[in-house]
Chain A
Amino acid sequence: MDAGTNLLYLVVSGIMVGSIYSLIGMGFVITYRTTNVFNIAYGQFAVLGAFIAWSFIGSPPGPSASLQPVTRLILPLAIPLTVICVIVFGLLVERLLFRRMIGKPVFVTFMLGLGLLVLLRGLIMLMWGGGGLRALAPTIPVGSMTIGNIPIRKELFWSFGLALFGALAFLFFFKKTRLGLAMRAIYDNQIAARCLGVSARLNSQIAWVLCALIATAGGVLIAVGGTGVSMGLENLVLVVLAVVLIGGLDSLLGSVVGGLILAIGNNLAIYYSANYIPGFDSIFKMILILLILLIRPHGLMGTKPIERV
């Protein structure tokens, strides 16, 4: 490949990965907007969801077949079951932990999130054993294909499509439906919205279920994309932090922008820094976070908070 095609390849695959990042970022934004919780345990949500999905879907047949789950099912049964389990998990988290936190200071909910992060990590290790890497059987087509003369992994392309669909569905939900309107109202002014008959509790439940579902979707898409299901997926929380901080914590559209910036930038950074600083990509997102917090703390598209005593 010549330099131009190469650059194009980096950008295109960046856009596709970025769409997944955007989708995952939206899950974070939703809980922040509706319940004002900075969900630091988000990475564990993705790991848990991916492990639940693996328990029903299983690994691809082959040399790793010894690592098959006992509850393995056919795909049309496995996906709804995964979704149900994740919904139950989201409801549990909301009911047991965050419902009593409505209106509490941010520091408290943040610490609760840290506790949840640690607890979930332990539970996941207990259930699935922390060590091993489990390949996830393909739920979407895999292989390689070309767009023009750019080679692209088929699963990446499909993930891109799914993520795009998911992101659009979310934007539609929030902008056009009554429930989405109610959730936006709760974010803007909780007391006024409740006076008008919007249920804060229902909104909080919906937010946590959506958050868990999106985290699962993100974890599964990334696992299918080649990394497999492992505890390593928890580092997704760093990606998510970068995405939502760049885009703005309370902006769905911002997380699209943030995801694209992060993924494309990451691709370019890996490619062009490989000769100078090996492993630079591992801290690229951290540097982005620091930069955006230095320059524009509320993100590119977030609303600037107005402070009153």
Chain B
Amino acid sequence: MMIRGKGRRGIDYSKDLAILGTWQRWTALAVFMVVLIILPFVLDYWTWNTGWLIFINSTIITIIAVLGLNITSGMAGQVNLGHSAFVMTGGFTMAVLTTAASWPMLVALPVAALFTGLVAAVVAIPSIRLKGFYVAVVTMAFFYIAQFAISKFDITGGMHGLTRISPPAIGGHVLKTSNYMGWFYFMMILLILCIIVSVNIKRSRLGRAFTAVRDNYIAAASLGINVPWVKLRAFFIGGLYAGLAGGLLASSISVIRVDQFTFWESIWYLGMIIIGGAGSTAGAVMGVVFLQLISKIMSIIGSAGWIPGNVSTPIFITYIMYGLIIILFVSFKPNGLISLWQKIKINYKRWPFGV
């Protein structure tokens, strides 16, 4: 008798590549969607305030930004220390378009994303000849130059930034009401679209080109991949995501200033990718949720007064925690949380024969 492992077995390649190949996955998806739809009502009812919904909304924005970085850095291997500047670019574009030019949000958002993508592609031009940490330094230089430039322009409000950005609205219907629910649904739909795009990039020809360039660009070039063009596209797509996240952020908090976007933000984004598992879409989402939850828990602990002498969480605890987490993951789990999940899955499939 042949012993067959658990799990699915495609009879052709399209079945094998399918994301939702099994009925278990379809069920999980359905349950997840139902949870998402009723989540805001539950939170609104049980926590008597919108604190958690605001937290979830900011997490969604961060996930979108990190998905972009995951494409540039995780899939294509171009370490990007300037992602926070890309988000800033998108945010300021959105703010200028919706407030000064009073464009409707649904038009301004794609334009902001596209503009940021183009900026990212321009930043990528020096990185065509470079690799590894040289690319990181280029993007870092871009971060400081962008910060400088935006703090000098009049249209972006200089150092003071822009305030009273028009709230998000579709056809006159304001999304960001007092309980943030419409805004939550809108961003959730965007997020799901972003995730679908990201997953599909990963298993497309372009995604395989990204992986090839990341793992060995000389071998990739000899296989006929146009390496500079692939790098440019990696930055462009990453920039699209960052611009989208920045636009959502600007509409969401209706105030935007240069010093909201620090260099540390870029490092957190990279850390989230490392923690989740570089190159994997699910990993990026996991990494963001993990770090966001930790910072939320720390701020709850801080405001509960368990740390003597401080009203809120002292900033150094955040740095120490994040630093330790990044160091521990890089040292001991370099493939991130997603590798844990995959290990569980493999063990389940092979049981009782595997490790």
The one of A118, A238, A297, A309 in contact with B322, judged by C-beta atoms closer than 8 angstroms, is: A118
Which of B137, B145, B318: most chain A CB closer than 10 A? B137
User: Are A238 and B138 also in contact (CB < 8 A) when A97-B331, A119-B320 are?
Assistant: no
Query: Which residue of chain B is the closest to A114 with respect to CB atoms?
Result: B267
A100 touches B323 (CB 8 A): no
A121 touches B319 (CB 8 A): yes
User: Contact string, A110-128, partner B, CB cutoff 8 A, digits 1/0?
Assistant: 1110111111111101100
The one of B219, B274, B320 in contact with A122, judged by C-beta atoms closer than 8 angstroms, is: B320
User: Contact string, A98-114, partner B, CB cutoff 8 A, digits 1/0?
Assistant: 00100000111011101
The answer to whether the Cβ of A279 comes within 8 Å of any Cβ in the partner chain is yes
The one of B133, B318, B334 in contact with A38, judged by C-beta atoms closer than 8 angstroms, is: B133
Query: Which residue of chain B is the closest to A305 with respect to CB atoms?
Result: B131
Stretch at the interface among A16-24, A73-81, A171-179, A285-293: A285-293
The answer to whether the Cβ of A223 comes within 8 Å of any Cβ in the partner chain is no
Which of B145, B274, B330: most chain A CB closer than 10 A? B330
Query: Which residue of chain A is the closest to B148 with respect to CB atoms?
Result: A283
A116 touches B327 (CB 8 A): yes
The answer to whether the Cβ of B7 comes within 8 Å of any Cβ in the partner chain is no
User: Are A110 and B218 also in contact (CB < 8 A) when A118-B319, A125-B315 are?
Assistant: no
The answer to whether the Cβ of A130 comes within 8 Å of any Cβ in the partner chain is yes
The answer to whether the Cβ of B153 comes within 8 Å of any Cβ in the partner chain is no
A107 touches B320 (CB 8 A): no
If over half of B's interface residues share one DSSP class (helix, strand or loop), that class is named, otherwise mixed; here it is helix
Q: Which of A294-309 contact B (CB under 8 A)?
A: 294, 297, 307-309
B137 touches A121 (CB 8 A): no
B141 touches A297 (CB 8 A): no
Query: Which residue of chain B is the closest to A278 with respect to CB atoms?
Result: B152
A126 touches B320 (CB 8 A): yes
B79 touches A107 (CB 8 A): yes
Smallest CB separation, A59 vs chain B (Å): 22
6 A-B pairs with C-beta separation under 8 A:
A106-B132, A106-B133, A119-B322, A130-B315, A279-B148, A290-B145
User: Are A293 and B130 also in contact (CB < 8 A) when A118-B319, A118-B326, A121-B323 are?
Assistant: yes
Given contacts A110-B79, A241-B140, 20 further A-B contacts (CB under 8 A): A38-B132, A38-B133, A97-B327, A111-B274, A112-B327, A114-B326, A115-B325, A115-B327, A115-B330, A118-B319, A118-B323, A122-B322, A123-B320, A125-B316, A283-B145, A283-B148, A286-B144, A290-B126, A293-B138, A297-B129
Q: Which of B253-279 contact A (CB under 8 A)?
A: 264, 267, 270-271, 274
Residues of B within 8 A of A283 (CB): 144-145, 148
Residues of A within 8 A of B270 (CB): 111, 114
Smallest CB separation, B142 vs chain A (Å): 8
Smallest CB separation, A239 vs chain B (Å): 12
B residues apposed to A, CB below 8 Å: 77, 79, 126, 129-130, 132-134, 136-138, 140-142, 144-145, 148, 152, 216, 218-219, 222, 264, 267, 270-271, 274, 314-327, 330-331, 334
The one of B144, B316, B320, B322 in contact with A130, judged by C-beta atoms closer than 8 angstroms, is: B316
If over half of A's interface residues share one DSSP class (helix, strand or loop), that class is named, otherwise mixed; here it is helix
Q: Which of A2-41 contact B (CB under 8 A)?
A: 38, 40
A122 touches B330 (CB 8 A): no
User: Are A100 and B132 also in contact (CB < 8 A) when A118-B267, A122-B317, A286-B145 are?
Assistant: no
Residues of A within 8 A of B145 (CB): 283, 286-287, 290
- Give Cα A100 to B130, complex, Å: 27
Query: Which residue of chain A is the closest to B128 with respect to CB atoms?
Result: A294
Sorting the interface of chain A by its residue count into under 10, 10 to 19, 20 to 34 or 35 or more gives: 35 or more
Smallest CB separation, A37 vs chain B (Å): 10
B133 touches A309 (CB 8 A): no
- Give Cα A97 to B329, complex, Å: 12
Query: Which residue of chain B is the closest to A120 with respect to CB atoms?
Result: B323
B137 touches A117 (CB 8 A): no
- Give Cα A108 to B270, complex, Å: 12
B133 touches A117 (CB 8 A): no
Residues of B within 8 A of A241 (CB): 137, 140
The answer to whether the Cβ of A245 comes within 8 Å of any Cβ in the partner chain is yes
B319 touches A119 (CB 8 A): yes
The one of B136, B148, B219 in contact with A110, judged by C-beta atoms closer than 8 angstroms, is: B136
B334 touches A122 (CB 8 A): no
Residues of B within 8 A of A120 (CB): 323
The one of A112, A117, A294, A307 in contact with B331, judged by C-beta atoms closer than 8 angstroms, is: A112
- Give Cα A294 to B127, complex, Å: 8
User: Are A119 and B132 also in contact (CB < 8 A) when A107-B77, A245-B137, A286-B141 are?
Assistant: no
The one of B134, B148, B271, B316 in contact with A114, judged by C-beta atoms closer than 8 angstroms, is: B271
Residues of B within 8 A of A287 (CB): 141, 145
- Give Cα A114 to B136, complex, Å: 11
B137 touches A122 (CB 8 A): no
- Give Cα A129 to B150, complex, Å: 31
Which of A100, A119, A123, A126: most chain B CB closer than 10 A? A119
User: Are A108 and B334 also in contact (CB < 8 A) when A97-B327, A118-B322, A283-B144 are?
Assistant: yes
Residues of B within 8 A of A106 (CB): 132-133
- Give Cα A112 to B326, complex, Å: 7
Q: Which 3 pairs, one residue from A and one from B, show the smallest C-beta to C-beta distance?
A: A119-B323, A122-B319, A115-B326
Smallest CB separation, A285 vs chain B (Å): 8
- Give Cα A283 to B141, complex, Å: 8
Smallest CB separation, B70 vs chain A (Å): 14
User: Contact string, A188-201, partner B, CB cutoff 8 A, digits 1/0?
Assistant: 00000000000000
Residues of A within 8 A of B267 (CB): 114, 117-118
Residues of B within 8 A of A309 (CB): 216, 218-219, 222
The answer to whether the Cβ of A282 comes within 8 Å of any Cβ in the partner chain is yes
Which of B145, B148, B222, B323: most chain A CB closer than 10 A? B323
